[in-house]
Amino acid sequence: MCGIAGLLNLNKYPASEIVLRAMVDIQRHRGPDDTGMYVDGPVGLGHARLSIIDLSKDASQPMTSDSSGAVIVHNGEIYNYRELRDELIRLGFTFKSKSDTEVILHAYEKWGTNCLNRFNGMWSFVIYDPKKREIFCSRDRFGVKPFYYYSDRDIFIFASEIKALLAHPQVKAEPDDKTIYNYVASGYGYIDISERTFFKGIRQLKAGHYAKLSLENGKFTQVRYWSPDPAKRLRFRDEEEAFHRFYELFEDSVRLRLRSDVPLGVSLSGGLDSSSIACVAARLLEGSRLEAFSSCFDTEEECDERRFIRPVLDRTGAHANFIFAKPERLFDDIEDIIWHQDEPYSTLSIFPQWYVMKLAKEKGVKVLLTGQGGDETLAGYNKYYLYLFADLIYSGKWAQAKKEMTIYKETNGIRKIAAPVARIMLSYTMPERAKALVGAGAGKAIPDYLNKDFASASFNRISTEKRFKGILNNELYNAFKISPLPSLLHVDDRSSMAHSVESRAPFLDYRIVEFMFSIGPEYKIRDGVTKYILRRSLKDILPAEVRNRTDKMGFAAPLARWFKFDLKGKVFELLSSSEFARRPYFDQKQVLEKFDRFVKGYEPDAHFTIWSWVNLELWLRKFIDKKP
CA–CA separation, 381 and 553 (whole Å): 10
Strand 148-151: give its sheet, edge to edge: 34-40, 43-49, 2-9, 155-159, 148-151, 203-204
Q: Max Cα separation, the chain?
A: 71
Taking residue 339's Cβ as centre, other Cβ atoms within 10 Å add up to 14
CA–CA separation, 81 and 436 (whole Å): 46
For residue 2, indicate whether it is catalytic: yes
Q: Give buried/exposed letters for 367-393 (b at 16+ CB in 10 A, else e).
A: bbbbbbbbbbbbbbbeebbbbbbbbbb
The long-range contacts involving 576-580, CB below 8 angstroms and separated by at least 24 positions, are 577/617, 579/617, 579/621, 579/625, 580/613, 580/617
Q: Phi and psi for 612 in degrees, rounded to 5?
A: -65, -35
CA–CA separation, 157 and 396 (whole Å): 52
Q: Give buried/exposed letters for 508-544 (b at 16+ CB in 10 A, else e).
A: bbbebbbbbbbbbbbbbbbebbbbbbbbbbbeebbbe
Strand 367-369: give its sheet, edge to edge: 319-324, 291-296, 264-267, 367-369, 502-504
Helix 306-316 to helix 272-285 angle (10° resolution) is 10
CA–CA separation, 45 and 61 (whole Å): 9
- Catalytically active residues are 2
